Structure 1
Amino acid sequence: MRTAIEELAEEAEQQIRDRFWEVSEQDRAVAAKAAADLRAAVGPAEIQELLAVIDRLRHLREALAALAVALAHVHGRLAWFLGAACTALGPVLNWRALPPGAGPTFGATQPTPQQYENAEDAIRRLQTALTHITTT
């Protein structure tokens, strides 16, 4: 996830730098709100790592929800960027925090600590990219 988000962020930053993507005021406003929502959902690594896995998963899902809401409010390049970010982070939706033996889980899987870290780092990188969009 982290790699996919990094590639998306670099592409967005390149499009803005090359003036291929002219960021509108609406894009800036939506990006600023999404960046703030991501920052509120997923904190610094040293704080996230102290949380119970169920809370880490909740925070990641909150971040995904914030991206979906932002996506609903835009069109064009920012919508494509946010849609691709949601797709890259999609595996989070199939994660579970309940231990094995809790009964059927609709195919949900239990992520490793490294997968949590990877997803949280991806959210932080996405937040940075959205902040960059607001300042262009």
Structure 2
Amino acid sequence: MDMRRIVAVLAEEAEQQIEDQVWEVASSDRALALEVEAGLRKVVGLPDVQEALTEIDRLERLREALAALAICLARTHGRLAWFLSGAINALEPILRWRALPAGRGGTFGTVRPSLDEYAEAEDAVRRLQDAFARITAE
């Protein structure tokens, strides 16, 4: 399953839990969700903006998105933490990506992603942005 699909499933589950009142989004959760949404929007922009960047810059921004998720995860618990964990897990392949050629020696198991993989990851981050916006709007 690709990153976009995993994020879509996560977002659907979150929306359903909120709708069914299984997840009652507390004001502290809402504040963190707003923070992570802003952080994601700051680092991953519209497709044409992202595609104009170098591979190093695209990877850097994707890693910043992961960092924004991880920082908020460290500051919460319960359903928001579970949602954040799922989001980080969905984007996990980014952790094995590198933008630089290997040169001599090993690469510690990293791989160079294709341009399509960058686009998929960026689209997954945009979907997360939208999911966090919906969580905070409830």
Q: TM-score under structure 1 normalisation?
A: 0.97
String of CA shifts for 1:41-69, please: whole Å, max 9, x gaps.
11111100010000000000000000000
2:19 aligns with: 17
Pairwise CA RMSD of aligned residues? 0.8
Matches within 5 A, 1:33-112: 33-112=35-114
String of CA shifts for 1:27-84, please: whole Å, max 9, x gaps.
0000000000000011111100010000000000000000000101111000000001
**Structure 2: tracts of 5 or more residues without a match:** none
**Structure 1: tracts of 5 or more residues without a match:** none
Is 1:3 matched with 2:9?
Answer: no
Classify the secondary structure of the residue corresponding to 2:65: helix
Classify the secondary structure of the residue corresponding to 2:91: helix
1:121 aligns with: 123
Structure 1 counterpart of 2:46, one-letter code: P
Give aligned-pair identity as a percent.
Answer: 57
User: Which shows bigger deviation, 86-95 or 101-110?
Assistant: 101-110
The CA distance in 2 between the partners of 1:71 and 1:109, in whole Å, is 27
The CA distance in 2 between the partners of 1:75 and 1:107, in whole Å, is 32
The CA distance in 2 between the partners of 1:94 and 1:59, in whole Å, is 15
The CA distance in 2 between the partners of 1:103 and 1:39, in whole Å, is 36
Q: TM-score under structure 2 normalisation?
A: 0.96
Equivalent residues, number: 136
Runs of 4+ in 1 over 2 A off after TM superposition: 100-103
The CA distance in 1 between the partners of 2:104 and 2:66, in whole Å, is 25
User: Which shows bigger deviation, 96-105 or 108-117?
Assistant: 96-105
